[in-house]
Amino acid sequence: MDPDVLNMFVIAGGTLAIPILAFVASFLLWPSALIRIYYWYWRRALGMQVRYANYDDYQFCYSYRGRPGYRPSILMLHGFSAHKDMWLSIVKFLPKNLHLVCVDMPGHEGTTRSALDDYSISGQAKRIHQFVECIKLNRRPFHLVGTSMGGNVAGVYAAQYPEDICSLTLICPAGLPSTTDSKFIKQLRELQESERIDRIPLIPSTPEEMADMLKLCSYVRFKVPQQILQGLVDVRIPHNDFYRKLFLEIVDEKSRHSLHENMSKIKAPTQVIWGKQDQVLDVSGASVLASAIPDCHVYILENCGHSVVVERPRKTANLILEFLALLHSMDNNKKQA
């Protein structure tokens, strides 16, 4: 073979081998870095841009796509120990001309974490209101979406700042009393009785505990490689002390039933989406909301657990779009009447 041709194949082979070896090395040695790259790539692919907003000396990190238009903007509040990128699976199924905003909740990811901050549910709602004012999202009423802890905050926000929002979607929200104890609540009681409350099932510190948490939160059984489980744990471990402090704050008497205490003040049309097989927060909470909020539309998803956003993203996105379309149609009918 001609030496020049041979050299060309060697160079080409080396060029291909470098990224492959880099990927394998990242997967085996630094899985947490691979996870960060994954989210970065997914944000770019979906057109989500990351920005920062400052309120005095407090910084909010958020991602957004689109601009405010004739349809309401959508603000999304994630759950406990998650971050803004958890919404990417739903963003994928939402129209690109919708104005979407996903914010890191207080103390999470790129948003300021301060030992002096109020992490109660009402304190978090106040912080989110500051964020809304920072980016002037409330120039027009917007649609607010929240899941789990974020659902609790979203409900309290809707009650405390009704002029800001036009409608509300609550996905498996916390903050409600339940007549039926979920598996998670039973586990917490067992831990309290054995004085091992530091072993909170939602705060894993090993790959095995991460696998158990995924089983607890999801009805669908995802096959997650050991290296990815390790990466997920590595990303979380530096924040686990904060997560423990936050968890004790949101289950404290001041916040435990915040949504329930405020739901009579919610006047905006409300959509509730819940996984029927939720093992973290029992699905009976949906009927509690339906009985207290006048204009409440409830959707119970079969074969779905607490992680509705991950397990049923297309269905969740479609339900939100259908709900907004219904409200738009009802507004038009009122104007024509």
Catalytic residue among 63, 81, 120, 148: 148
**CB 301 within 8 Å of CB 315:** yes
Catalytic: 108? no
Catalytic: 198? no
Whole-number Å distance between alpha carbons of 114 and 69: 35
Using alpha carbons, select from 141, 62, 143 the residue that is nearest to residue 109.
62
Q: What are residue 76's DSSP bridge partners?
A: 102, 145
Catalytic residue among 104, 278, 297, 307: 278
102 phi, psi to nearest 5 deg: -120, 120
**CB 119 within 8 Å of CB 106:** yes
Catalytic: 239? no
**CB 83 within 8 Å of CB 42:** no
Both tokens of 251, joined, read: 């289950």
How far lies 96's CA from each of 88, 105, 109, 245, 286, in Å? 13, 24, 25, 37, 30
Catalytic residue among 282, 297, 306, 307: 306
Both tokens of 145, joined, read: 């979406």
**CB 162 within 8 Å of CB 267:** yes
**CB 148 within 8 Å of CB 281:** yes
3-class DSSP assignment, residue 71? coil
- Supply the residues annotated as catalytic: 148, 278, 306
